[in-house]
Structure 1
Amino acid sequence: MAEASTKLRGVNLGSWLVLEKWMVPSLFEGLAATDETTWCAELGEQAGERLRAHWQRWITRDDFAWLAGRGLNAVRIPLGHWIFGADYPYHRSYGAARYPFVEGGIQVLDQAMAWAQEFGLHVVLDLHAAPGCQNGFDNGGIKDVCEWHTSPEYLEHSLNVLERLAERYAGHPALHAIEVLNEPRWDVPTDYLKAYNLQAYARIRKHCPAQSVAVVFHDGFRDFREYLGFMQAPQYRNVLFDIHRYQCFERSDIDLDIYGHLHKAAGAWKGEADAIINELGLPTLCGEWSLGLDLKVVSLWAEGPFNHAMEHMDEFQKNVAYRGYAAAQLATFEKYQGWFFWNYKTETTPAWCFRECVERGWLPSVFA
């Protein structure tokens, strides 16, 4: 049962139902693929066995138990528009394959919902990759393509997936919220996004009443003030606003020393939180954040220089810096309705791996 007042403290279960190469490079070894779409298209018939093995291995019941044991109460689960199988529009990146994506993800999601219920975790289902790709990022399904907003067919399929999720999990004790679209890019028109959010709300509300399930929309990389007066009560109920906050993608952030990063997290971001809380009229989540400051380990596209605040520190100084950066962010994000660390695990870098951050002492050992 989703109450708007529930404080969410959780992690993202990324690179599970939507692959990201930088997080699971072992799956991409020897391939030209840069994202799940091109991975499936390139592997063809071999994709099924390899991806199903990854689904079973990457996240297990033990992971849900570990999270609950640390006092966390929520998971955000990114999923692709292909979650229900071969009913999605064609895109040229599929090549000769009409339906390249591996089937069976919905059964994995069913299992995740059952584990969440068993351990008392709230689930946010997140449409992370939309047809045509909404942002041009690998996490949107097709790197360097941003065409989701150019086709009524893409829009309708997105809405249909959301409605099917709402119908399938309506009444499920673990379902806390459905996020209608992850990170639509800054150049997708705001009016188009707003219209989509309203339609998505209506589709979800057909099956999931406001007292039991929240509807989440992302800021689309634009100032929260562009949404002042949008989706307000009493017409719209249990709506959550999602922001993502990182300090490793823009040159002005990359060039900061550790004191600059701490100041931004506990200063500018705290001021932003106060403004959102006072002005927006919607409970807000920080749906993604991390301890990552080194762009080189996360990006398939960025050009250097890859300087970062930690590069000349010894191990003790790095540990101090990571603890400080974690604490500064948590102190700010605790002002919101909740937060979700990106990501629960990676194959590569501890600063983006929640479990390793906890085990190294950079993050608290208990979150309750």
Structure 2
Amino acid sequence: MRPRFIGRALQDESYGPRQSYASSGNSVPIGDDAQSSVYGLNPNGSQTRDTAYYSLNYRDDPHDSDFAGQSTPDLTGYGKISSPYLSEKRAAYAAPRQRSRKRALIIGGLVLVAVIIVAVVVAVYFTVGKSHKGSGSASGGVSHGDGSGETTKTGSTLIVTGGDGSKVTKDDGSTFIYSNSYGGIWYWDPSDPFNNGARPQSWSPALNETFNYGIDSIRGVNLGGWLNTEPVSFPFSDAPALYEKYLNGPIVAIDEFTLSQAMAADTAGGGLKQLEDHYATFITEEDFAQIAAAGLNYVRIPLPYWAIEVRQNEPFLANTCWKYFLKAIQWARKYGIRINLDLHALPGSQNGWNHSSKFGTINVLNGPMGLANAQRALDYIRILAEFISQPEYQNVVTMFGVTNEPLTPTFGQENLARYYLQAYNIVRKASGIGEGNGPMISFHEGFAGLSAWNGYYTNSDRVSYDIHPYVCFNGQSTDGYDTRATQPCTSWGANQNQSMASNGLTAAGEFSNAINDCGLYVNGVNLGTRYEGNYTGGPWPRQGSCEPWTDWQSWTPAMKKDIMNFALASMDALQHWFFWTWKIGNSSVTGKVESPAWSYQLGLQEGWMPKDPRKASGTCGNSSPWTPPLKSWQTGGAGADQIPASFSSSFAWPPTVISNVGAATLVPTYTQTGPIPTLPGPTFTSAAATVSVGSGWQNSADNKGLAVAIPTCSYLDPWVGTTDPPSPLCSGSSSKRDDKRKVFEAVITPAPTATAARRFKRDSS
């Protein structure tokens, strides 16, 4: 993702600006990933940069000291990390006894009518409620003809399915007309809530049909800023705007941590309930209907760990966004859309950016709480995997991104590989029934580059790789879309093909239309922009005003066509993708979208996004097309789930070394003895919906406890940053946080002087 954060907390108990690698002037060689460069889409400006380098600057970076002027230690023997992408879910009744001939005739007549009704119901059920090629849904499926018209449930006036022009009834009883000219079929029967017969378009498999990864195209959007909030997607939402509301208060909202604190203190303004109000209104059922009608077949939904629980003084609204994720599963099922569930925010933060829970330092696999926080994260992966592996949900939630954007240059590829292997084993154990079951597992490449993962997880069961190729956070230029329209073709396509051939399914989990960093809060709250030269992580030379790039109401037809061409080239080159993001709300100040290059919905409405994404096919000239299929083991077939024992041994969990600490034995860990919280299923209001919603736990043999604190051990705050571990590591007294150790809080500071910057860089080496 793009830089969704603010400032940085220095590790020497002083503060400095949160710089990007673009502003620090550091670069990392691209190795053999030259064609996948996001930096390659940015022409050289007046910055001192070489286009042969990606830099670690594709987005702002809160911890330059973690790798400023130095390479990541080679902990594995697999080579140093180069980062081309960091550059920034009837009863039968007995017949009564016959007592008279007349009564028998009456009863006989009634039985005859009943038989006819049953015959009709059975016929409808097997033509509408069953698919000829179902994939084992919990409650059967639907196979529709051409999708026209509506099907009314026998014995009632409830419409349960329809196509273009049909009337849809929502949960609250209100209705709207479904407009989908691409053969999409919606299906929702309250008495059969796990029916998987819906289809988003004629060319996309219905939920009860097999999605052939590598052949069927993933065309998706993120539902960013909904269940995991962040300023760029969510400064606006509904009135009053939530982030904007707390820009000048005693607690400045710059991430969900501080937003939650500010809201909790604002009891008169609604307190934390404001967040649930946002969940209930920002994304609704009609968004899912519109997504299917836009020719899209997937959504990627960022979800934070506090959907499950919070601990200690964590301020997040716990256990609440989960019930809205359940609504997302229901709506996705209704319109035939598959879900990529992305665990977006981890305890302690996996990258220090504002979308990861709290901006500042990295505390997963890094620092004194790095191992304990990773243990918690793996537990949350397990809890989610157990839920979505249930037959009621597995045909809807078909992908699981186990961690969004872990920052490999901080903690090393070896430790990320260990973490990923442990996550893989956890997710596959959750299905409990062997290979080919449970979700596709998505690993973000961690800013190491796709080729860095060649040879990892061979013969795994359906592992895919995720990249986020943004182009707007590097060198800024006044060049327009007309000069960049086909550049994604030469920069991305070949690398995607190589990765699919070597590693398996490869998809862009995020990309946008932005070619510069203009837009409200794109870089973070009140951080300015590189383009206008007022970015606090600078210095950056001013290129001009951002107004022409954000005033979409003044864009000419020619400019919209150029943006369309850029979008089509990106889609064709990436092949499998999720645009960031579906919608951007209106600013409460200006009353309009202030980051137009990031909104798919606005682009559709205003004419710079394709109404049919299939139009992208062939934009790049098919000079290096992907030749399917994927290898058998990459799709769950022969040889899957047979990772070599030597690999499993080399990357066993836990790690032996934790970055910025040393031996893993020096840091506190949790014990797996706590009770496991099980996620609840949905509640259906229809009296007829008496079907089971699942227990929340697919594999009853998976009974290891939750990672919890050892009573005799000392622990630091999960967000403490790089500092010495608590001492003694384990004591005879109850666990207490060491109050003498400072926990850095978020602050906005001016840029350092040249002398201070040099000292900071030297001290961090």
Q: Are 2:257 and 2:315, in contact at CA under 8 Å, matched by a contact in 1? A: no
Letter in 2 for 1:292: A
Report the counterpart of residue 68 of structure 1 in structure 2. Answer: 292
What CA deviation, in whole Å up to 9, does each residue of 1:3-36 have, x standing for no partner? 5344211100110111111222121123211011
Q: What is the total number of aligned residue pairs between the two structures? A: 353
Report the counterpart of residue 474 of structure 2 in structure 1. Answer: 250
Q: Are 2:471 and 2:516, in contact at CA under 8 Å, matched by a contact in 1? A: no
Report the counterpart of residue 361 of structure 2 in structure 1. Answer: 145
CA gap of 1:9–1:107, structure 2 versus 1, over 3 A, is same
Candidates 245, 249, 274, aligned match of 1:30: 245
Report the counterpart of residue 342 of structure 1 in structure 2. Answer: 580
Candidates 304, 316, 319, aligned match of 2:530: 304
Q: Distance in 2 between matches of 1:228 and 1:41?
A: 43
Report the counterpart of residue 108 of structure 1 in structure 2. Answer: 324
What CA deviation, in whole Å up to 9, does each residue of 1:29-69 have, x standing for no partner? 23211011111122216442100100000111111111112
Q: Distance in 2 between matches of 1:266 and 1:36?
A: 36
**1:10-159 correspondence to structure 2 within 5 Å:** 10-25=220-235, 26-31=241-246, 32-44=252-264, 46-86=270-310, 88=311, 97-150=313-366, 151-159=370-378
SS in 2 for 1:207: helix
Report the counterpart of residue 125 of structure 2 in structure 1. Answer: none
Q: Distance in 2 between matches of 1:83 and 1:314?
A: 40
Report the counterpart of residue 211 of structure 1 in structure 2. Answer: 436
Report the counterpart of residue 332 of structure 1 in structure 2. Answer: 573
How many Å apart are 1:218 and its aligned residue?
A: 0.4
Moved more, 262-271 or 111-120: 262-271
Identical aligned pairs, as a percentage?
27
What CA deviation, in whole Å up to 9, does each residue of 1:95-152 have, x standing for no partner? xx44433431111111111111111111110011111111121121212332222222
Q: Distance in 2 between matches of 1:182 and 1:217?
A: 8
Candidates 175, 179, 182, aligned match of 2:401: 179
How many Å apart are 1:255 and its aligned residue?
A: 6.0
Higher relative helix content: 1
Q: Is 1:188 aligned with 2:411? A: yes
CA gap of 1:4–1:47, structure 2 versus 1, over 3 A, is farther
Report the counterpart of residue 603 of structure 2 in structure 1. Answer: 357
Q: Are 1:129 and 1:139, in contact at CA under 8 Å, matched by a contact in 2? A: yes
Moved more, 123-132 or 292-301: 292-301
CA gap of 1:367–1:98, structure 2 versus 1, over 3 A, is closer
Q: Are 2:224 and 2:301, in contact at CA under 8 Å, matched by a contact in 1? A: yes
Root-mean-square deviation (Å):
2.3
Q: Distance in 1 between matches of 2:457 and 2:571?
A: 27
Report the counterpart of residue 202 of structure 1 in structure 2. Answer: 425
Letter in 2 for 1:355: Q
Moved more, 101-110 or 41-50: 41-50
Q: Distance in 2 between matches of 1:365 and 1:100?
A: 38
SS in 2 for 1:42: helix
Moved more, 309-318 or 146-155: 309-318
Q: Which structure 2 residue ranges, 5 or more long, are not aligned?
A: 1-134, 136-210, 236-240, 247-251, 533-542, 586-592, 615-765
Q: Distance in 1 between matches of 2:598 and 2:555?
A: 19
Moved over 6 A (4+): none
SS in 2 for 1:68: helix
CA gap of 1:101–1:149, structure 2 versus 1, over 3 A, is farther
TM-score by length of 2: 0.44
Q: Are 1:48 and 1:103, in contact at CA under 8 Å, matched by a contact in 2? A: no
How many Å apart are 1:305 and its aligned residue?
A: 3.5
How many Å apart are 1:314 and its aligned residue?
A: 5.6
SS in 1 for 2:343: strand
How many Å apart are 1:339 and its aligned residue?
A: 0.7
Q: Are 2:352 and 2:360, in contact at CA under 8 Å, matched by a contact in 1? A: yes
Q: Which of the pair has more CA radius of gyration?
A: 2
CA gap of 1:220–1:302, structure 2 versus 1, over 3 A, is farther
TM-score by length of 1: 0.89
Report the counterpart of residue 463 of structure 2 in structure 1. Answer: 239
Q: Distance in 1 between matches of 2:482 and 2:292?
A: 33
**1:261-280 correspondence to structure 2 within 5 Å:** 261-278=484-501, 280=502
Q: Distance in 1 between matches of 2:555 and 2:289?
A: 34
Q: Distance in 2 between matches of 1:271 and 1:134?
A: 29
Report the counterpart of residue 152 of structure 2 in structure 1. Answer: none
Letter in 1 for 2:294: R
Q: Distance in 1 between matches of 2:384 and 2:419?
A: 17
Q: Are 1:310 and 1:318, in contact at CA under 8 Å, matched by a contact in 2? A: no
How many Å apart are 1:281 and its aligned residue?
A: 2.7
Letter in 2 for 1:211: G
How many Å apart are 1:70 and its aligned residue?
A: 2.2
Q: Which structure 1 residue ranges, 5 or more long, are not aligned?
A: 91-96
Q: Are 1:149 and 1:155, in contact at CA under 8 Å, matched by a contact in 2? A: yes
Q: Distance in 2 between matches of 1:293 and 1:42?
A: 33
How many Å apart are 1:287 and its aligned residue?
A: 0.8
Letter in 2 for 1:4: Y
Candidates 217, 221, 236, aligned match of 2:447: 221
CA gap of 1:98–1:71, structure 2 versus 1, over 3 A, is closer
Q: Are 1:359 and 1:365, in contact at CA under 8 Å, matched by a contact in 2? A: no
